[in-house]
Structure 1
């Protein structure tokens, strides 16, 4: 098992801090505050991303999906998959040991939800773990939220996962982009590189390419708050810093 390194910020714990959580260390908070100085809307973007997760999960449930594989799940604080779809079977996967340790505590009273330590780039190991918890011959909601911008070459892992899931499954992605703030791109890249978790923001066309071969559900690749919102989006959607898309395997 990977070692917990409290001296190095980790995306899962930074995200937890931006959401107002308490499962983070001083380096995570310091990085988040630096990020907020560069991108003041980052905390709002994190909340918009979590709100999208709830809408995407509800969309899957309404389509008949009863099981979810959440890759790069982070720390399952309020409003996560197992709470949004309490009757569904859920496997949370993250490469941060502290996120998984906290997940195990959070999921103690959620008998249908499990968390395992894993890296989504290690597709064989993750799919083996998924096969122990989920029925991959039936539709799955595959969630990759705010994680693929930390993957240098995401196409091969994505192909492996979409090949492994059954027809009728859904893939939901959110992905960081510099489209809404191109002048901040280099500052953000330098900041993430200094943290040991380099990021690769992608534009709208590149995010659309990630779901090539799947049937993209309306409204397509859009700013996160514009994907089937519960109420009209307020403010400038580009301040979400993130694109969202849901696509179906046929």
Structure 2
């Protein structure tokens, strides 16, 4: 990995949540300040690294299931973060090469890596929108270049809402929910109050970190109907779809929750 910063000023002397997450995942797009903070956090809660990896594998399983079993061909990813293979479009287009994927983030670090996200199969399409995730009007207008919102769309918000204070996630989802076609899906992953000390570390270093319990996370899915098995730990969501997944799961039990839900057809 290289500590040579990109040409734009990405403030590599300070920890950044997307780069720290990349560090947890074993990526290469992070710098000394990110590793220092990440090591500090892992000292508080070592299972955070396997939790991050379990969250990433949940992304792959959920996208593959929606594309294969529910015929979803359009995906909108909110708060994309840094590219880490497999990216959402790689999973979706691995099942359905014609799938269309739009990534949304307003982070200059993510924008600097956007080209890596935009390598679509020729049969499908990908796009990147530089926007705050709460600006639904802007997102919908720009995503319409790639996505037909008269047809079902799978919206994902993974490891995102614990960086947004109340009531912003609920407001964002309320604005989005009414504009999605029946049969659309919502996928969320979120950390739980057991990570209070981790959230405090993030608050101290970056001024962010909002914990919600399972009832509060469930409420974010209001107006959608859960697919089985409901809101569960990341490794409990259709683990049979990922037979290659290895490593202990008990160490991350109760640290995070995830679920997929559908907007009713009627």
TM-score (norm 1): 0.90
Q: Distance in 2 between matches of 1:100 and 1:46?
A: 22
1:92 to 91, 103, 118: 103
**Are positions 1:14 and 2:20 aligned together?**
yes
Tell me, yes or no, if the aligned pair for 2:83 and 2:116 is still in contact at 8 Å: no
Per-residue deviation, residues 33-58 of structure 1 (Å, max 9, x unmatched): 11101110111111100100011101
Would you say the 8 A contact 1:225–1:240 is kept in 2?
Answer: no
CA RMSD, 1 decimal = 2.0
Give the structure 1 partner of residue 4 of structure 2. none
Alpha carbons of 1:110 and 1:77: their partners in 2 closer, same or farther (altered >3 Å)? farther
Could you tell me how far 1:76 is from its partner in structure 2?
2.1
Q: 2:118 aligns with which of 82, 107, 110?
A: 107
Size of the aligned set, in residue pairs, is 244
Does structure 1 retain, via aligned residues, the 8 Å contact 2:76–2:154? yes
Of the three residues 164, 169, 175, the one matched with 2:179 is 164
Contact 1:223–1:237, Cα closer than 8 Å, also in 2: no
In our comparison, the structure showing a higher alpha carbon Rg is: 2
Following TM superposition, the consecutive aligned residue runs of length 4 or more in structure 1 with deviations greater than 6 angstroms are none
TM norm structure 2: 0.85
Q: How does 1:17-56 map to 2 (within 5 A)?
A: 17-56=23-62
Describe the shift of the 1:166–1:159 C-alpha distance in structure 2 as closer, same or farther (beyond 3 A): same
Deviation per CA, 1:203-223: give whole Å up to 9, x if none.
Answer: 111111110121111111111
Q: What does the per-residue CA deviation read over 1:11-66, in whole Å, with 9 as the maximum and x for residues that have no partner?
A: 22111111111112222222211110111011111110010001110121020110
Cα contact 1:143–1:173 (8 A) shared by 2: yes
Task: Name the CA distance, whole Å, in 1 between partners of 2:121 and 2:17.
Answer: 25
Structure 2 residue aligned with 1:225, among 224, 231, 235? 235
Unaligned 5+ segments in structure 1 are none
Cα pair 1:71 1:92 within 8 Å, conserved: yes
Secondary structure class of the residue paired with 1:222: coil
Task: Choose the corresponding residue for 1:174, options 189, 192, 200.
Answer: 189
Partner of 1:249: 263
SS at match of 2:223: coil
d(CA) in 2 for partners of 1:197 and 1:21?
24
Aligned pairs for 1:125-204 (under 5 A) are: 125-152=138-165, 153=167, 154-178=169-193, 181=194, 185=196, 187-204=197-214
Flag the 1:106–1:155 CA change in 2: closer, same or farther, 3 A.
Answer: closer
| Change in 2 beyond 3 A, CA 1:197/1:167 | farther
Where relative contact order (Cα < 8 A, 6+ residues apart) is larger, the structure is 1
- 1:95 Cα shift? 2.3
CA contact 1:10–1:96 (8 Å) conserved in 2: no
Q: Deviations over 1:107-133 (max 9, x none)?
A: 345551122222111222222221222
Q: 1:23 to 1:240 in 2, by over 3 A?
A: farther
